[in-house]
Amino acid sequence: MGANILIVEDEEKIARFVELELGYEGYATTKAFDGRTGLELAESGRFDLVLLDIMLPKLSGMEVLRRLRRTSSVPVIMLTARDSVMDKVSGLDSGASDYITKPFAIEELLARIRTALRKTMPQQESTVLSCCGVTLDTARRTVAVNGTPVELTKREFDLLHYLMKNKGLVISRETLLENVWGFDFTGETNAVDVYVRYLRGKIDDVFGLKLIQTVRGVGYVIKDEQ
């Protein structure tokens, strides 16, 4: 049940690319290739967020935004050309939620979208995972065991998050390194074991749980049943 996003962008390759990537993230999308169509769609009230290019045929992005703001407070992220500082300034003045400079990394755009949506749809971002009395709030980045808060470092949190998100699945060290540490990781694969030990020290040892189980020769798993 992702948010509904309108993409107003006349460069079809960019529009198509953004559409695909947003689709992978679970968002529903609609495309418009000129300002006039974009404005009509945006005014329909069907969308939770609008991605709006500035240089558009028929009606410029700035003009679309200006007119849209008469009737709607939907979050708008402007897509600006490289280094057009004036665009950024006047975009934010005329009521854009944010702007991103083209060419952009898709991760950057996704992060901006999440931030903009969080402001208007707070309930959607607050995902609480739970298992064996442990709750992990991905929006607040907090962890508690039976209501008692547990302080984790960023890496410990990310590792626990990944395992809880994949509850019931045995995850290999390599997969954990790739997803929690990232591709830039250059250390030893026993980093995973070290961080699992940290987590056990802060959670299992303190609260008498066996949250993270070792599967010999394979990896780690968090299961509901102990």
The residue ranges that bind Ca ion (CB under 5 A) are 10, 53, 55
Q: Which is nearer to Ca ion, 19 or 53 (CB)?
A: 53
Best CA proximity match to 78, nearest among 162, 164, 70, 93: 93
Best CA proximity match to 153, nearest among 165, 141, 137, 136: 141
Contacts (Cβ under 8 Å, ≥6 apart) of 75 = 48, 49, 50, 97, 98, 116, 117, 119, 120
Q: Which is nearer to Ca ion, 55 or 106 (CB)?
A: 55
| Beta carbon of residue 10, minimum distance to Ca ion (angstroms, whole number) | 5
| Beta carbon of residue 107, minimum distance to Ca ion (angstroms, whole number) | 22
Per the CB < 8 A criterion, the answer to whether 42 and 64 are in contact is yes
Best CA proximity match to 160, nearest among 127, 187, 183, 131: 131
Q: Which is nearer to Ca ion, 55 or 170 (CB)?
A: 55
Q: Provide the residue type at 15 as one letter.
A: A
| Beta carbon of residue 53, minimum distance to Ca ion (angstroms, whole number) | 4
Q: Which is nearer to Ca ion, 61 or 219 (CB)?
A: 61
Q: Which is nearer to Ca ion, 55 or 221 (CB)?
A: 55
| Beta carbon of residue 149, minimum distance to Ca ion (angstroms, whole number) | 48
What is the Cα–Cα distance from 54 to 190, expressed in whole angstroms?
Answer: 48
Per the CB < 8 A criterion, the answer to whether 50 and 37 are in contact is no
Helix (H, G, I), strand (E, B) or coil at 199: helix
| Beta carbon of residue 98, minimum distance to Ca ion (angstroms, whole number) | 18
Neighbours of 213 (CB within 10 A): 14
What is the Cα–Cα distance from 226 to 135, expressed in whole angstroms?
Answer: 16
Q: Which is nearer to Ca ion, 10 or 43 (CB)?
A: 10
- Residue showing the smallest CB distance to Ca ion in the complex: 55
| Beta carbon of residue 55, minimum distance to Ca ion (angstroms, whole number) | 4
